[in-house]
Amino acid sequence: METVKRVRVLVVATVIIWLSVVVVGQIDGTEFVQGAAAILAIISTMTIWSLWALDAYGISVDGTPREKVKHDAGMEEDPRLSLLLSLLTPDERDALRSRLAGELEADGESLPLADLLAEQEQTDRSAGLS
């Protein structure tokens, strides 16, 4: 969706550039001024579209590839969380950290995956499938 917005902006900018050439041609009818305005319009149009294309392909102006920036709202630090952590004592922080680690290890499963795999191996061995 962002690409559509950028293209719209570029189209509007291109129209403005070329309308300015028409206005300059109407104000000053000499061929030199009209030619200069047309050349500047061509250069301007090529520049803005080229920069957009380079940006779309992730290439910076100096020609080096850029790393894509991840726009993840979860990556930003929540000020409420920072305030909460600053109010906790080191012991409370350690207790919270170990509780969260325990919840992540269980991951909502009643049996860990390692136990299930070990049980399956024992079943296979007892059935003579190994």
pLDDT digits (tens, 9 = 90+) for 58-115: 777 666 666 655 554 455 677 888 888 888 888 988 888 888 777 766 655 656 667 7
Q: How far apart are CA 122 and CA 129, in angstroms?
A: 10
Q: Would you say the C-alpha torsion 57, 60, 64, 70 has a positive or negative sign?
A: negative
pLDDT for res 28: 83
What is the pLDDT confidence band of residue 129, given thresholds at 50, 70 and 90?
A: low
**Looking at per-residue confidence, does 49 or 116 come out higher?**
49
Q: Is 61 helix (H, G, I), strand (E, B) or coil?
A: coil
Name beta bridge partners: 35: none
Prediction pTM value: 0.46
In eight-state DSSP terms, residue 65 is: B
Query: Residue 63: what pLDDT?
Result: 63
Residue type (1 letter), 3 = T
